[in-house]
């Protein structure tokens, strides 16, 4: 499970809100079923929230079901 608080916004879509990490400009969205989401490496969530901090990013940072750290 991620160290960031994520909410399930639809069947296979999870969202980490901008309030979870200082500097996030947009929410981070992760596309995965419950099993994949629960077994993702914490690095995936760190990378997703880091991406959400980049200047110029629009709407969401996105991570697909095959997301991996590294």
Q: Does residue 37 form part of some domain? A: yes
Q: Does residue 70 form part of some domain? A: no
Q: Does residue 2 form part of some domain? A: no
Decide: 31 and 13 in contact? Cβ < 8 Å: yes
Predicted pLDDT at 2: 59
Q: What is the pLDDT along the chain (70 residues), one digit of tens a residue?
A: 557 899 999 999 999 999 999 999 999 999 999 999 999 999 999 999 999 999 999 999 999 999 988 7
Number of compact structural domains in the chain: 1
């Amino acid at each position: 499970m991620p160290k960031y608080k994520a909410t399930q916004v639809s069947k296979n879509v999870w969202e980490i809100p901008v309030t979870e990490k200082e500097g996030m400009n947009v929410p981070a969205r992760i596309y995965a079923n419950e099993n994949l989401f629960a077994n993702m490496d914490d690095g995936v969530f760190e990378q997703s929230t880091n991406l959400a901090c980049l200047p110029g990013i629009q709407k969401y940072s996105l991570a697909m079901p095959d997301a991996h750290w590294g």
